[in-house]
Amino acid sequence: MRSVREKTRDVMRILEVARELQRDESLIQKLVASTGLSIEGVRKGMAEHLETDATEDDVERFVLKFGDVSRVTLILAANVFVGSLRAIACARAKGERVTVRPSSREPELAAAIVRALGDPNIELVSTVEVRNLREGEIHVYGKDETIAKFRAAAHVPVIGHGHGLGVGFLTTKTPVEDVLAGLESDIVAFDQRGCLSLRVLFVEGGPARAEEVGRALHRALNTTKVPRGELTREERAESVRFSDTMTMVGEVFAGHAHVVAVAPSDAPAIVPPTCRHVLVRCALRDAEVTSALAPIAKWVCAFGTDDVARARKLGPVHARFSALGRMQKPRLDGYVDLRVT
């Protein structure tokens, strides 16, 4: 069994390797090809959202959150590309040995980290036969359905990290202009493909303020310096469906690569598709936020706000609460998904 010091060293080494990869132009090109994000989108992810800035003290606190198992088999079924760094770090903090199976859709960063590490205790595989695993535990990042399938087949414990989304709450104490850059960043990063991505924004106040925020967000997204990546045909179809539906409900501000829909306070918090689609919904009272959140609360992984103390009373306990603009920049403090116990 490794000491805390040894574990900290192992995780620090992973972060060090990731820092080197941040500047690896050939990897960035590969990530553009595998993710479909724009090159600016990949650069933003690598520069701003790859969690490499943790100090040794941070990492020591991080490793203390994990117990010890002989082996962690890490299955990355679906995650944003930078997510593989924290997933490997968590697996390594816990496992004496780690087997990494990267996402078939986005294998590049996980593979690059493992190769660059050259750690004999971390191996890279392309397939995993779950039912044959007899030691340690399995960490799976993917849909609930995928996790359930692995749980059904496995003979060892399965730690599942399901899909999720981010919501925001902007109170009346902050003018929208003060948080616009942060909102833009929370939406633009990874084209909203992350479980921490902002997709529904509650705005304290009446319909006029929600519309003002919607318009401001529309302007910000129109002038963003990070172009959206390519959409699949299905994603384009979802965009059309969302736009037409929300036009029936309220105001829709559609740009060339985003849609901001403003809904009245009696509309449910319908979750928009990914790829820069946002629902802005006004809330005259805090109770309107909690009741609108109730049907989707179990999927809320991130809660961005200008008033964290107040938001904690409104959002689900398992959400990560942060300032707007920090939703997709969580500290390296354990599993990214706080729903995992």
Query: 276 with 188: CB under 8 angstroms?
Result: yes
- To other proteins, the closest distance from the beta carbon of 56 in angstroms equals 28
- To other proteins, the closest distance from the beta carbon of 336 in angstroms equals 8
Helix (H) or strand (E) holding 115: helix 108-117
Nearer to other proteins, 133 or 269 (CB): 269
Q: Which tokens sit at 289?
A: 């936020």
- To other proteins, the closest distance from the beta carbon of 23 in angstroms equals 23
Nearer to other proteins, 8 or 79 (CB): 79
Rounded CA-CA distance 180/178 in Å is 6
- To other proteins, the closest distance from the beta carbon of 332 in angstroms equals 17
Nearer to other proteins, 71 or 202 (CB): 202
Say if residue 269 is exposed, middle or buried (CB neighbours under 10 Å; 0-12, 13-18, 19+).
buried
Residues that bind other proteins (CB under 8 A): 35-36, 78-80, 83, 105-106, 141-145, 161-165, 190, 192-195, 197, 199, 232-238, 240-241, 243-249, 251-252, 263, 267-271, 273-274, 294-296, 299
- To other proteins, the closest distance from the beta carbon of 341 in angstroms equals 18
Q: Which amino acid is at 146?
A: T
Nearer to other proteins, 92 or 199 (CB): 199
Nearer to other proteins, 111 or 254 (CB): 254
Nearer to other proteins, 35 or 305 (CB): 35
Nearer to other proteins, 12 or 278 (CB): 278
Pairing of the two strands 198-204 and 122-124: unpaired
Query: 207 with 173: CB under 8 angstroms?
Result: no
261 phi and psi, to 5 degrees? -110, 135
Query: 51 with 330: CB under 8 angstroms?
Result: yes
Nearer to other proteins, 233 or 256 (CB): 233
- To other proteins, the closest distance from the beta carbon of 71 in angstroms equals 24
- To other proteins, the closest distance from the beta carbon of 62 in angstroms equals 20
Q: How much is the CA Rg of the chain, to the nearest whole Å?
A: 20
Rounded CA-CA distance 198/203 in Å is 13
- Count of residues in the chain: 341
Using alpha carbons, list the distances in angstroms from residue 127 to 76, 100, 111, 139, 172.
11, 9, 13, 14, 51
Rounded CA-CA distance 160/138 in Å is 8
- To other proteins, the closest distance from the beta carbon of 316 in angstroms equals 14
- Among 47, 105, 83, smallest CA distance to 226 is for 47
Nearer to other proteins, 71 or 86 (CB): 86
**β-sheet bridge partners, residue 76:** 141
- To other proteins, the closest distance from the beta carbon of 231 in angstroms equals 8
Query: 146 with 58: CB under 8 angstroms?
Result: no
